[in-house]
Amino acid sequence: MWTAAALAAGAAAGAALAGSPGAAAGAYGAAAAAAAGLVTRWHLRRAGGLGPAATLRRALRCEIERLALSGGMLAAGFAAFGLEPPALLAGFLLGVAGATAGGYSSLAAGRHRWRPASSPRASTSSTTSRT
């Protein structure tokens, strides 16, 4: 719901900034932010039950992937597709705002819960005993 609203807001902001070509640029910018949000959700689902060190590694990898994906999509929008830069950035910012609002509303509704590190996927470095 939040992602669709961010796409619509990005298209509307792009249209306000640059007319009809700006609407496509704004929607593309919002879609780039939504794609980065999907990477985050995928990593959140995979990180449940990991120990602290593994969770930190997963978070760092997630942020690197988000940065690469967002940067690549924005660069493609600017250079390859020739989209309007102000409309593209406005759509991206609204897409990030929509993804953030959606994440916080999911968290408040209790749909994202942290699982304790007691599953078999937890770090195995503490299982060796010293005698």
Whether 47 contacts 55, CB under 8 Å? yes
For residue 17, how far is the Cα from the chain centroid? 25
Handedness of CA 68, 72, 73, 75 (dihedral sign): positive
Count the neighbouring beta carbons within 10 Å of the beta carbon of residue 116: 8
Q: What is the DSSP string of 43-82?
A: HHHHHTT--HHHHHHHHHHHHHHHHHHHHHHHHIIIIIS-
pLDDT tens per residue across span 51-89: 889 888 998 999 999 999 999 999 999 999 999 999 999
pLDDT tens per residue across span 17-61: 998 889 999 999 999 999 998 898 888 888 878 888 988 899 899
